């Protein structure tokens, strides 16, 4: 199998990230029994649409498998799929006894990347599966986001935005997988830190059939309301008393602006003379 058989959309970094497979010649195109082959545990795609598989199975019955399945031989003599698991599943549904395969030597390290590249090029992965695959490349192969982007022919920002989806609660990620909400909806939700707010927004998305733009507006509104509540909480109790005491001591209006544990103290003055008096008071107390 030659690297040039991969679609031209792949990033130029792929060759440097994966040892060249053409240096290890495959055994060639062979017919393998459908039961001799099994899906890889490293397969990035975990969700296969039954209807889509039936459509592909129907096509295979009429036209056969147009593109061979890439496999590697395991120590027990069976064959693990490197690329083409969807075709293999559909062929099984179509009742085929054998399928055309290319047997190639692929290391464990290369397996995930090759499977991921094929799925991404075919747009076979949902947004969460794609994000999880990028994360595996980062964690298991030690790649940074730029290297992952080069390997799969994507912009680094695309990889970064995909990885952010994994910050969402698992239940919300499942909504993306099941197509209850789109990737656009999910990207809008990532900016919310409060999980209860995220679930509230998702409920409104599904109940009111909100567009992505409407969801973004709703998220922005939730963020504003949350920020205002935090400010009010900080102004109550001890904070308000501190502000009152400072105004009493300094003889001028004082503002406390707090935001998530940090903030600003603003001391107002009406003239240069008052400013100098305030400086003298503060520095004298410090001395």
Do residues 47 and 79 make contact, with C-beta atoms less than 8 angstroms apart?
A: no
| In the block, residue with structure tokens 């559909």 | 90
Q: Say which DSSP state 5 is in.
A: G
**CA gyration radius for the chain?**
29
Do residues 104 and 69 make contact, with C-beta atoms less than 8 angstroms apart?
A: no
Catalytic residue status for 247? no
- The alpha helices in the chain, defined as continuous H runs, are 14-17, 50-63, 85-93, 108-121, 127-141, 145-152, 156-164, 170-177, 183-189, 195-208, 212-235, 238-250, 272-286
Strands 262-267 and 254-259: antiparallel
β-pair partners for 24: none
Contacts of 146 (CB under 8 A, 6+ apart): 156
Crossing angle of helices 127-141 and 145-152, rounded to 10°: 120
- For 38, 117, 127, 215, the CA distances from 183, given in Å and listed in that order, are 31, 20, 6, 12
The catalytic position among 80, 85, 118, 129 is 85
Distance CA 211, CA 200 (A): 15
- In degrees, rounded to 5, the angle at the alpha carbon of residue 28 between the alpha carbons of residues 27 and 29 is 135
Q: Which residues are catalytic?
A: 85
């Amino acid at each position: 199998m030659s690297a040039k058989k991969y679609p031209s959309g792949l990033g130029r970094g792929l060759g440097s990230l994966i040892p060249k497979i053409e240096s290890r010649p495959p055994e060639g195109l062979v017919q393998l029994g459908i039961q001799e082959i099994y899906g890889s545990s490293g397969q990035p795609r975990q969700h296969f649409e039954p209807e889509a598989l039936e459509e592909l199975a129907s096509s295979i019955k009429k036209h056969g498998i147009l593109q061979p399945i890439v496999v590697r031989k395991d120590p027990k003599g069976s064959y693990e799929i490197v690329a083409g698991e969807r075709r293999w599943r559909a062929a099984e549904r179509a009742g085929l006894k054998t399928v055309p395969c290319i047997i190639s030597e692929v290391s464990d390290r290369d397996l995930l990347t090759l499977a991921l590249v094929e799925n991404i090029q075919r747009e076979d992965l949902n947004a969460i599966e794609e994000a999880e695959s990028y994360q595996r490349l980062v964690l298991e192969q030690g790649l940074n986001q730029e290297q992952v982007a080069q390997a799969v022919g994507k912009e680094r920002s695309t990889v970064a935005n995909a990885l952010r989806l994994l910050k969402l609660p698992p239940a919300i990620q499942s909504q993306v997988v099941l197509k209850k909400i789109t990737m656009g909806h999910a990207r809008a939700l990532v900016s919310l830190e409060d999980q209860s707010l995220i679930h509230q927004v998702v409920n409104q998305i599904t109940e009111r059939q909100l567009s992505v733009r409407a969801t973004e507006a709703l998220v922005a509104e939730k963020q504003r309301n949350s920020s205002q509540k935090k400010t009010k909480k900080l102004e109550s109790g001890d904070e308000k008393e501190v502000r009152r005491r400072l105004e009493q001591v300094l003889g001028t209006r004082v503002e406390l602006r707090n935001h998530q544990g940090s903030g600003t103290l603003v001391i107002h003055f009406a003239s240069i003379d008052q400013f100098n008096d305030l400086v003298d008071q503060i520095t004298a107390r410090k001395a």
